[in-house]
Amino acid sequence: MKCRACTKKAVIKLPSHNSAFCPECFDRFVLSQVGRAIDEHKMIAPDDHVLVAVSGGKDSLALWEILMRLGYKTTGFHLDLGIGDYSRESRGHVESFASRHHLPLVVESLQEEVEGSVTDIARATRRPACSGCGLSKRYFFNRTALRIGASVLATGHNLDDEASRLFGNLLHWHDEYLAKNRPDLPAIKGLSKKVKPLVRLTEKEMASYAFLRKIPYVLKECPHSVDAKQLLYKKLLNEVEAASPGTKHAFLFGFLERIDRFYPESETTEQEEEEETYLSPEGQCERCGEISWTPVCSFCRLKERVREELAKNGEKEPRPS
Ligand code: AMP
Ligand code: ZN
């Protein structure tokens, strides 16, 4: 098998692009796909300061490395979820990546801020751990971006993540989520712009990139993340992709070409989906001062519920996650 670009020995086959690449040309391919996503969706301007949300997984660490190679000004942000070995390893990879490349990094601890573990959050909200975790990530991402003056927040969602999300949203015709199923969400009401520069690259391509660039990342899965539906959607799309290469890309990008027609850019935010659409006069949480659509923001209410739950059970110390 020869590289499509230079005829050297190919190491990676990309049926969806009807191509195979040697390591050097694959590297160029990945950088050009990210560059193209950034240009086509006007994700990042040359003078932007990008806050990169880095979980310690392959996608977000590779994203940080690529944005650095493309010359963007970046700061990393990691939220330590306090989930045993999984979080210790994740944080370790993020911190060593930052120090190896001399990049600024902000780390916050969910457990310290909430004074409870992810398990306590799940118990207090009576919802799966992932939902409290997602709400907390959004809160910390926004707060950190505002604190450090970052104009853009970048996450490591890839083509598989975005296509499977679209698939799930279409199956249930979740119009409010479909309107936001895009790799670029504009800045609104003091919240920074949100972008997903890896949207043109698959999970497999990102794993190959991290391997070839020797980027160490956490291999463990979060013990709480058993979003069975999302995994099923990914599996089904991969089956279609195997039979008909390029379908995953056509599915997502066909939708993105039409999204403005179906869903003209909406003014609402992710928080509004889970809160009453009520904007307090100042638009700030009266407890923490962060931007909020309710007098007390959803994160402060979450903290309150965890405190009440722990007090009710006579527990002072958070339960291990
Ligand atoms: P996930 O929701 O776990 O699929 O992660 C999607 C993206 O959110 C990742 O690619 C990261 O950019 C970001 N992210 C997830 N978890 C964290 C975390 N603990 N700290 C910082 N960023 C995160
Ligand atoms: Zn608050």
Q: Does the CB atom of residue 81 touch ligand 1 within 6 A? A: yes
**Which ligand gives the minimal distance to the CA of 136?**
1
- Report CA(234)–ligand 2 centroid distance (Å): 35
pLDDT in tens, 197-228: 999 999 999 999 999 999 999 998 888 876 77
Q: Residue 6 Cα, ligand 1 centroid: separation in angstroms?
A: 36
Q: Of the given ranges (6-20, 26-40, 60-74, 147-161), which has the lowest mean pLDDT?
A: 6-20
Q: Verify whether ligand 1 is closer than 6 Å to residue 77 (CB atom).
A: yes
* Ligand 1 site-directed mutation target among 52, 97, 137, most atoms within 8 Å of CB: 137
Mean pLDDT value across residues 65-94: 97
Whether 136 is in the pocket of ligand 1, judged by its Cβ within 6 Å, is no
Q: Are 164 and 181 in contact (CB under 8 A)?
A: no
Specify the amino acid at residue 234. K
Angle (CA) 218-34-57 rounded to 5° is 10
Residue 256, pLDDT > 50, answer: yes
Supply the angle between the helices 203-212 and 58-69 in degrees, to the nearest 10.
60
| 77 contacts 50 by C-beta, under 8 angstroms | no
Closest-lying ligand 1 atom to the alpha carbon of residue 156: 10
Give the residue, 33 or 262, on which the prediction is more confident.
33
Query: Predicted confidence band at 282 (pLDDT cuts at 50, 70, 90)?
Result: low
Whether 126 shows a pLDDT value over 80: the answer reads yes
Q: What is the pLDDT of residue 315?
A: 67
Question: For residue 13, what are the β-bridge partners?
Answer: 20
Binding site membership of 145 for ligand 1 (Cβ less than 6 Å): no
Protein residue with its CA nearest to atom 14 in ligand 1? 55
Q: Whose CA is nearest to atom 15 of ligand 1?
A: 55
Distance between CA 308 and CA 9 in Å, rounded? 62
Name residues with Cβ closer than 5 Å to ligand 2, which is an ion.
285, 287-288, 297, 300
How many angstroms is it from 39 CA to the middle of ligand 1? 23
Ligand at shortest distance from the CA of 106: 1
The pTM assigned to this predicted structure is 0.93
In a mutational test of the pocket of ligand 1, which residue from 52, 55, 111 has the highest number of ligand atoms less than 8 Å from its CB? Answer: 55
As a whole number of angstroms, the distance between CA 302 and CA 124 comes to 8
Does the beta carbon of 110 sit less than 6 angstroms from any atom of ligand 1?
Answer: no
Instruction: Provide the pLDDT for residue 265.
Output: 66
Distance in angstroms (rounded) separating the CA atoms of residues 168 and 319: 33
Reported as a pLDDT band with limits 50, 70 and 90, residue 316 is low
pLDDT score of 244: 95
83 lines ligand 1 (CB under 6 A): no
The residue ranges of DSSP E strands in the chain, in sequence order, are: 12-14, 19-21, 49-53, 73-80, 105-109, 152-154, 184-185, 193-195
Pick the ligand that lies closest to the CA of residue 198. Answer: 1
DSSP string, 261-286: HHS------HHHHHS-S---TT-B-T
What residue's CA is closest to ligand 1, atom 10? Answer: 156
Residue with CA nearest ligand 1 atom 8: 155
